[in-house]
Structure 1
Amino acid sequence: MADETALKDFPSLFSLKGKVAVVTGGSRGLGLNAASAFLQAGCAQVFITSRKASACDSAVAQLNKLPNLQPGARAISVPADSSTLSGIESLVAQVSQHTDHVDILMANAGATWGAPFDTHPDAAFQKVMDLNVKGVFLCIQKFAPLLQKRATLEDPSRVIITASTAGLGTASLGQAATFGYSASKAAVIHLGRNLAVDLGPRHILVNSICPGFFPTKMANGLLEMTGGLEKHAARNPSRRLGRPEDIAGVVVYLASRAGAHVNGAAIEIDGGSLWNNGEFTLPPDSKL
């Protein structure tokens, strides 16, 4: 009988040593949190992309100052517009100048728009859908040859899509309604499931993460408009909002050997708020 206590090389279970990662929308917020995690977990190269070259350069400078990187490991700036086919093709070309393969693609770039139902702009809805859904599909499609290059049954490549709990329940409604954002995140979660089945035989695993509220540039305006950070933390079953380490832990898990048999999943990172049914409950010692 096999020894059920034996685990193959447990110390390296969460290691990303030598891996190559690309993070779209990686110059700030959750994308930068994830890029930092990939680099500190052992990646040899982490490519940071967003529309603004200066933002990519600034993020890369911060990342390359981290103290506990593998020898020779570095972040690389590759600015591009992930909402258009030409921008994605430019991104793939830039990455290909440095490497002939990619092990981890984090499709994180996204946009939102808040406006009431009756005046919700057509152009805004289209912009959100183009980046959050079509852009994700095209990015995965164009990176697929690089993702397949070194992928094997025992060591598959990974795609991580940044979705949202807004795609699993209702998002912001009323004056700051985010109809396009919520619809786009529901769509991209299901896109990820379809791609997981289609690309799994090519040794490319596709999973989605579904963050709740994290204090980021993208979310802070909505957080303030709907009661502020303290109110949102108080109504969360875990009594706090998300932190960078919460994103880091999940993406390293999905990208490492620890997540090698996870495919088509949508992992909520929200402290349980999705299941709180919108109820605003205060802790006993609250002064709000």
Structure 2
Amino acid sequence: MEETYTRSGPVGPDGLFSVEGMTVVVTGGATGIGRMVAGGFAAGRARVVLVSRRPEAGEEAAAQLRASGCCEVVIGDLSTAEGVDRVVARVLAVAPVVDVLVHNAGATWVGPLEDHPYDAFDAVWAVNVKAVFRMTVGLLPGLRAAVAARPGEPARVITIGSIDGGPVVSPVENYAYGASKAAVHQLTRHLARRLAGERVTVNAVAPGLFATSMTAELLADPAQRERLVAGIPLGRLGRAEDVAGAALFLASRAGAYVTGVVLPIDGGESGCG
């Protein structure tokens, strides 16, 4: 007989989408998309571990999230292999069981084609791609511990890609960034295939245009903002609940049979724009 009961109770709206009691690690969780995702998990009564490069931003975000639930901060820089290893060690010290790992920390670089520096690819790919791979491998003991602790329920890895990683080509000259997000999508599929046998799902969320610090300059000009929003079929920017809801779905019982997927959260821009 198929399993119809989870740790959260019988299959139904409350049980299907519950993340209560899970330990969720969110890199780059102090600002932007990461903060939105972390807020959704905190509101769902998960234990959130924020990874932040900046101590002040991390502590400020954690203080806000503690109003909803449990939140801790790990400070570290994911731009080098040594930095990733230090973050992994610190995360496992406070959270030896990792139910959900959200890779959100990212970097971008914008510049004209002829002036786009070669070093931009090194800087952007170090955080957006290489750190995702190294940190996933480093936190496998925590993910495997979560699988062992909850028989029949997978651990989850969620990468934050972008519609800039395809099929949409950004009007912004962010060559290194767009290429890195395409790599994140393919890395997600590759990890999903490898880890499926260990009951670890790996999926990507690909946001469209959200108002964050990364897009602040792009949206600062009212006329340009209006043009960009006009290109979104649903006619608005993304909101916190849009991306948080996608992450909660993938992390909950409702998304337990989903792996290797790149889920666009873009108001229809990539599908029907």
TM-score in same-fold range (> 0.5): yes
Name the TM-score, length of structure 2 as normaliser. 0.91
Residue by residue over 1:12-58, the C-alpha shift from the partner in whole angstroms, topping out at 9 and shown as x without a partner, is 11001111010001010110111111111121x21111211111111
| Correspondent of 1:104 among 96, 100, 106 | 100
1:92 paired with 2:95, answer: no
Question: Conserved in 1, the CA contact under 8 Å of 2:185 and 2:204?
Answer: yes
Match of 1:213 among 175, 186, 209: 209
Aligned to 1:281: none
Which residue is 1:122 aligned to? 118
Count of residues paired in the alignment: 265
Deviation at 1:225, TM superposition (A): 6.2
Deviations 1:104-145 (CA, angstroms, capped at 9, x unpaired): 000001111111111111111211111111111111111111
Whole-Å separation in 2 of the counterparts to 1:99 and 1:170: 37
Shift in Å, 1:276: 4.9
Q: Residue type matched to 2:162 in 1?
A: S
**1:47 and 2:49 correspond:** yes
Q: Please, which runs of 5 or more residues in structure 1 have no aligned partner? A: 278-288
Please report the TM-score for the alignment, with normalisation by the length of structure 1: 0.87
Unaligned runs of 5+ in 2: 3-8
- Displacement of 1:162 in angstroms is 0.2
How far does residue 84 in structure 1 lie from its aligned partner after superposition?
A: 1.6
1:248: how far off?
A: 1.1
Q: 1:64 aligns with which of 66, 73, 85?
A: 66
CA distance in 2, matches of 1:216, 1:36: 15
Aligned to 2:186: 190
1:204 partner amino acid: V
Matched with 1:34 is 37
* Contact 1:171–1:178 (Cα < 8 Å) also in 2: no
Select which of 227, 231, 234 maps to 1:235.
Answer: 231
Whose Rg is larger?
A: 1
User: What is the match of residue 165 of structure 2?
Assistant: 167
**Displacement of 1:237 after TM fit?**
0.6
SS of match in other structure, 1:57: helix
Structure 2 match to 1:150: 146
Give distance in 1, aligned partners of 2:225 and 2:241.
18
Amino acid aligned to 2:108: T
How high is the sequence identity, in percent, across the aligned residues?
A: 39
In the alignment, is the contact (CA less than 8 A) between 1:48 and 1:75 conserved in 2?
Answer: yes
